[in-house]
Structure 1
Amino acid sequence: MPPSEDESWTPSGGPTPRSAMRCVRLLLGCTSAAELLGTVLAEGPGWITGEGSALYLLDSAGMLRLIASHGLPDWAHERYSTVAPESDLPAAMALRLQRPYLLSPEHTSIDYPNRNAGMGTGMVAVVTLPMVVDGRPVGVLALALAHRGTVPRRDLDVLETIAEACGHRLHHLLDHSDARPPREAPAPESDAGLAHPLLSLAVRAAGHGAFERDLVTGESYWDAAAFRVAGRPATPDGAAPELERIVHPEDLPDVQAALAEALASGGHYRIGYRVLRQGGGVARVEESGEVMLDVHGRPVRIAGLLADASPADRPKAPESPKTPESPGGGPAGARTALLLSLTRALSRAVTVRDVTATVTDVVRPAFGAASIVLDLVDEGRLLPVSHTVYGGPRRAELTRLADLSADVMRHSLARSAPLFSDPGRTARRGDPLAPAAWAVLPLVASGRQVGSCLITFATERAFSREDRTLYSAFAGILAQSLERARLYDTHHHRASELQRAMLPRTLPRLPGITSAARYLPSTEGMQIGGDWYDLLRLPDGRIGLVIGDVQGHNAEATAVMGQLRSGLRAYATDGHDPAATLARTSRLLAELDTELFATCLFLALDPADGRLTGARAGHPAPVRIGVDAGAVELDLPGGPPLGVDPGQPYPLAVDRLEGGETLLAYTDGLVEDREEDYDESVQRMLGGLELWARQTGPGRIGPAPALERLADLLTLNVTERRSRPDDVALLLLHRMPSVP
């Protein structure tokens, strides 16, 4: 759950750091299980990854039932939706032991997909925490963690506190859901309206009619009170009617515009509008809700309340600028507001993937569409992009829909004219997948054919002249956004190819050692940077390990990186020791026409006797992973970054790498986290390396598969972050116990 505005910003305008106390305070105000889990993921420590997290509630039959989740695959929902307390699954173990039950990355790797691993991913730690209130078990909270090794005691304390807060809040919500207002008997249809478990927790504690919209599946649920507010009979499963069928036609564009704004930004919103009661008559309602975002900032659910705001029942509340009676409003003004909202959302999209995400997350629910399929022109052909990029569990369905609509999408683009279905004349021809209503929009920007867009609806509808104008205008906006995004993607692809060409395609096979490397670009800015690594053959059979980081994330940083890599390689292979090599490379950088500087580490290893010499220029110290399961930073005095003081010499350190020991060299992007102190991040990594070495065992670290596995585990914490502001490079070098 996104924090409220007054809590999420400091007086200086920066974001408030996450804290356990803040998370607990927000948890105690949640009104549903989904909101509880969302708050833990959004406000809890950054090392809670989100993927594979779940909330289980203990039902009256004594079974653990899954009531909220994030990032669980379909098979996990099917297999673990109900967990028996006597089973060996992690959730059941935590409940029986009444303490946190932890699966380390090694356990999830070995056991997965064995039933004992439960939701193990094989890549991260999984912790299940019992929720107990006054000695009574309430449920279990399962979270995936980005810890690569042991979970420190301080982190377990935080997790137990969060679980305790979730348990108390769930217990409170359950008590309120069981309590009936004494002045009013429950309506006969109330059980049907509360069939959805999340609503039964969220609504009964609020007092008004409540709703929930799943933005992933497109399904909407109302409780019984919401049906009464709208003047509609409750459906057996609580499925809500479509907005287009109940909202007054004059107010519908306003509702869509307000919804688009809320979806684009997340958080709370409120809007008033008129609804058409069944059997005639109009009632005014006020909708107050919140758009909930996942850990990647994408909207996944809307939940809120519907209140009767008819003048006969209560004084009319002041209207917000988004309500139907706002100045300059009316249907025409509302449609303009909707287009502006969609334009703002699309203007923030940078890549084609971003555009597709905006179409999926904002445009589809704002239009009330069942599906949207985008086809892009590629070498004269229309190729589908949306359902292959963002299909998720509906990928197969969207693929069949794209196949079904391919001809009409090509026809619309060839004519450069939109096509709309005609109610009563659109025959499905026995195909249950054929949509009840649809619009096909040609996407043309600056006279160029960009692609075609299919928008489908679950129920038949008539497209008025105003509707057709609206969709045609949206097609122009979408085409411009896609054209801009494709140009960016092309530019970025070329820059990335340039950067990859400057990095080693493969590491050389050198006698006496095994090695592994990883490189991950930044996800911000140009998504390219100046991190590099190298493994060199040096004179006299020695081996050189080089890793560096040029300041900046742009094409200039990449170009400077290439020059430095070439220069350092030349100096090193000429026989200069690491200190002299760095001194010469620093002078080279100072002579280049750039204001950038760089950090660098250069180690030279003799695999025959393990003699190690090294120097570093403002770079993080390398880590030695020993056969005794220790993981410590090498005592390697450093000098200034390259290019800062070209006349400054670098101290040369001498050490020894024993047979069976491993060296890790990395750039600071591997451990740097905006939400954590840098030194704490380093210590967390060292603890994880120590646990990994202890579990792997002496003599088993050296083989290439084990070293590749370690490289994956080291980069896992980075790949699970919401964003990656810096490049990441790492190089692992293991000295074999004996040299042929």
Structure 2
Amino acid sequence: MVDREVSSLSLPDDWPAHPDLSMALNRMGCFDWDLDSGLLYMDEAALDVFDMAHDEYSGRPEDLASRVPPSEGARLDALVAEALKNGSSTYGAYFRIRTREGGLRWSHTQGSIGRDTSGRPRRIIGIVRDATQELADSTARVEQDADRRRRTSVVQGTTAALAHARTVQDVIDVLNDSQGLENLGATSLVVGLVEAGRIHLVADGPYGSFVPGTRYTRIDEQYPMSEVVRTLRPRFIESAEDFAGSYPILWPHITGLGITSAAYLPLIAQARPIGAIGLLYSDRTGFTADERNVLIALGSSIAQSIQRAMLFEQDKDLAAGLQQAMLPRRIPAVPGAQIAVRYRSARLGRDIGGDWYDVIPLPGGRVGAVIGDVQGHDTHAAAVMGQLRIVLRAYAAEGHTPATVMARASVFLDELDTERFATCTYAEADLSTGVVQLVRAGHIDPLLRLADGSCRRLPAEGGMPLGLSAEFGQLEYPVTTIELDPGQTLLLCTDGLVEQPGADLDDGMQMLSAMVRTGPRDLQQLADKLCEVVDERGGEDDVALLLLRRKGADLPQTGGRLQQHVAQNDPEALSSARHMIRAAVRAWGARERSDEIELTADELMTNALLHTDGGAVVTARVLAGAQRRLRIEVDDRSSVLPRRREAGEAGVSGRGLMLVDRLADVWGVDSRGSGKCVWCEFVVPDRH
């Protein structure tokens, strides 16, 4: 069947070719080496491989030495000798031959060893061929594979670097600063992001390359970025002529940059374009299929990183706004005190957490200072913090004692139906006397910086964290009382300022004490200095800081204090309180206003006894300052606030507060945890 088909075809006369012709055309020759005589026969094709004429060869291997460099000959002889010795039946080797012109080219020999019955080698029959093109093709493949691996590693390395980028600028910096751009051979890059139907150029190539009017461009304009965003397909510009012809509006402005080719890639995330990136080249033209695939893969990785960065920046803006809304907008000016507050978010996370501070002005020259930390670093922690801050402020403003403020806040948090707990320190300072009452709820101890700059820890007995104490029924919070002298500073902070991974808390407190001791005296500068350390350290926890310093001058000092309890239906106690007021007026040099003071005090005491169910506590004190003042306070256990009323028909009731308002220089009502305090003040002359 095959013979019939072949005979029916028109074939050349010399078909099939003789093996000698096939070998000669492929630069391959034969040799036959008789090992006993040492004669080495080589045909014409074999001699041609060695670039040797027939009359130059006598049949001895030594004649080939002029064509084989000594190092190659020694290596080839050693290879053949080893094959003969170890019983091998074949051998093969690549070696170099020196041509008549002095150049080197690669050859290959393959020999079959013939042995007698005893195994002694007697003859080698083989071939020799020109391997120059073979090895060139092989080297090209190796180089091509290496180049492909290099480009793949560039994508992998760039992707790994982009994994740490948090913002869009971080992504651009990675591309500009990493070796990925250099390895890809690009001169520079341009990046544009889609915003409100336009493309915003956020990276504009090398210095001086920005084209005026291209910061914002429409997607329908004739620019390469606009094209890839519209079509969602990459655009590979093969040459300068291609660039000039395709984009005549842009090209005249960038001609001087020496751009010879460019690759513009759409940045696609979740099936929608978010921007485009352009890689500009100045020393190449054209792109191979492998190069295009690598660039497309790189564009996909960059798109995911930019989308992640954009979402992070949106979250960051939202978090910053929420954090600002939760923390106090401003710290009130407190007479007799200097205050500095700071908040720093964690290095990782969403720039929001449960740390907070607060400053609460209280009646009678007192101030409440709060520092706290709700468990967690997310919006839920911030939401809980905001609610807890509000209720703490409300309980403190109502006049509850520090221990009661903490207990009620713990109950509130427990009833909030959240799994979060909070640590907190609440300090209530009377700036006129310097007495500070401290309550800790699972929080770290405060620090005290003395006027001479030395700093020490204030060990304060504490209770359980807020929320947990209510859950376990342990609402007793012990109070620690200290005295804050003029010039001394109370430091309250969250544990992010002192805690470091792998370090002991006591070591952190000692480090903080050393920083405070060596820090600036100015309160604001000291707060900045402490936060700089936190920023440099890049901790993984939020930090809230509150510094409160009692001023040393112009403080209202207590010049005296008298107090009397008056029970209902106790005329003698009421008369005794009136005598106490009269004596205080005479002793403190306020005789000129004695009638006004005594009448006003009597009205306040009478109102308390008539309109409440319990007794009253009457306090008289003199306050020194810019103006010396005599203050009368009447505390009762009723939360009902007094109000001015019109006099009744008999003209007897309803005039009390009207008299107080007319006679006193200033008066007011303060809520207290157990009721209220109605007070009035009179300016009295200084004693000489």
Please tell me the TM-score bracket, short chain as reference.
Answer: 0.5 to 0.7
Match of 1:739 in 2: 554
**2: distance between equivalents of 1:719 and 1:444?**
35
**2: distance between equivalents of 1:406 and 1:676?**
55
**1: distance between equivalents of 2:280 and 2:142?**
19
Match of 2:200 in 1: 383
Match of 1:207 in 2: none
Instruction: Report deviation, 1:542.
Output: 0.8
Once the two structures are superposed, the pairs formed by residues 118-517 of structure 1 within 5 Å of their partners are 248-261=143-156, 346=162, 351-353=167-169, 355-360=171-176, 361=178, 363-386=180-203, 408-423=224-239, 425=241, 432-433=256-257, 435-517=259-341
Instruction: Report deviation, 1:728.
Output: 0.7
Instruction: Report deviation, 1:599.
Output: 0.6
Match of 1:625 in 2: 449
**1: distance between equivalents of 2:497 and 2:158?**
33
Report the secondary structure of 2:408's partner residue: helix
Instruction: Report deviation, 1:359.
Output: 3.7
Residue of structure 2 aligned with 1:727, choices 523, 542, 555: 542
Instruction: Report deviation, 1:416.
Output: 3.5
1:485-518 per-residue CA deviation (whole Å, 9 max, x = no partner) reads 4334324432332222110122111211121111
Calculate the aligned-residue CA RMSD, in Å. 3.4
**1: distance between equivalents of 2:403 and 2:216?**
66
**2: distance between equivalents of 1:622 and 1:573?**
22
Match of 1:575 in 2: 399
Match of 1:678 in 2: 505
Residue of structure 2 aligned with 1:668, choices 495, 512, 516: 495
Instruction: Report deviation, 1:350.
Output: 5.6
Match of 2:412 in 1: 588
Instruction: Report deviation, 1:470.
Output: 3.3
Report the secondary structure of 1:712's partner residue: helix
Change in CA separation of 1:431 and 1:734 when aligned onto 2, cut-off 3 Å: farther
Change in CA separation of 1:438 and 1:643 when aligned onto 2, cut-off 3 Å: same
Match of 1:706 in 2: 522
Give the residue type in structure 2 aligned to 1:660: G
Higher relative contact order (CA 8 A, sep 6+): 1
Match of 1:12 in 2: none
Give the total of aligned pairs. 400
Structure whose alpha-carbon radius of gyration is higher: 2
Report the TM-score, using the length of structure 2 for normalisation.
Answer: 0.53
**1: distance between equivalents of 2:254 and 2:379?**
55
**1: distance between equivalents of 2:321 and 2:216?**
36
Match of 1:653 in 2: 480
Report the secondary structure of 1:540's partner residue: coil
Change in CA separation of 1:508 and 1:448 when aligned onto 2, cut-off 3 Å: same
Report the secondary structure of 1:720's partner residue: helix
Change in CA separation of 1:460 and 1:660 when aligned onto 2, cut-off 3 Å: same
**2: distance between equivalents of 1:730 and 1:367?**
48
Report the secondary structure of 1:467's partner residue: helix
Instruction: Report deviation, 1:525.
Output: 3.4
| Fraction of identical pairs, as percent | 37
**2: distance between equivalents of 1:424 and 1:535?**
66
Instruction: Report deviation, 1:412.
Output: 3.6
Change in CA separation of 1:466 and 1:532 when aligned onto 2, cut-off 3 Å: same
Runs of 5+ consecutive residues of structure 2 not aligned to the other structure: 1-139, 245-252, 556-688
Match of 2:49 in 1: none
Give the residue type in structure 1 aligned to 2:539: R
Report the secondary structure of 2:456's partner residue: strand
CA contact (8 A) 2:191 2:275 kept: yes
1:336-387 per-residue CA deviation (whole Å, 9 max, x = no partner) reads xxxxxxxxx6566565455445544375345343333322112223223357
Change in CA separation of 1:405 and 1:496 when aligned onto 2, cut-off 3 Å: closer
Report the secondary structure of 1:425's partner residue: helix
CA contact (8 A) 1:537 1:543 kept: yes
**1: distance between equivalents of 2:431 and 2:315?**
43
Report the secondary structure of 2:445's partner residue: coil
Change in CA separation of 1:424 and 1:552 when aligned onto 2, cut-off 3 Å: closer
Change in CA separation of 1:247 and 1:688 when aligned onto 2, cut-off 3 Å: farther
Give the residue type in structure 2 aligned to 1:414: R
Match of 1:523 in 2: 347
Instruction: Report deviation, 1:657.
Output: 1.0
Residue of structure 2 aligned with 1:604, choices 428, 437, 443: 428
**2: distance between equivalents of 1:367 and 1:598?**
52
**2: distance between equivalents of 1:400 and 1:720?**
39
**2: distance between equivalents of 1:409 and 1:554?**
38
Residue of structure 1 aligned with 2:381, choices 534, 546, 557: 557
Instruction: Report deviation, 1:705.
Output: 9.9
CA contact (8 A) 1:260 1:366 kept: no
**1: distance between equivalents of 2:546 and 2:211?**
41
Match of 1:149 in 2: none
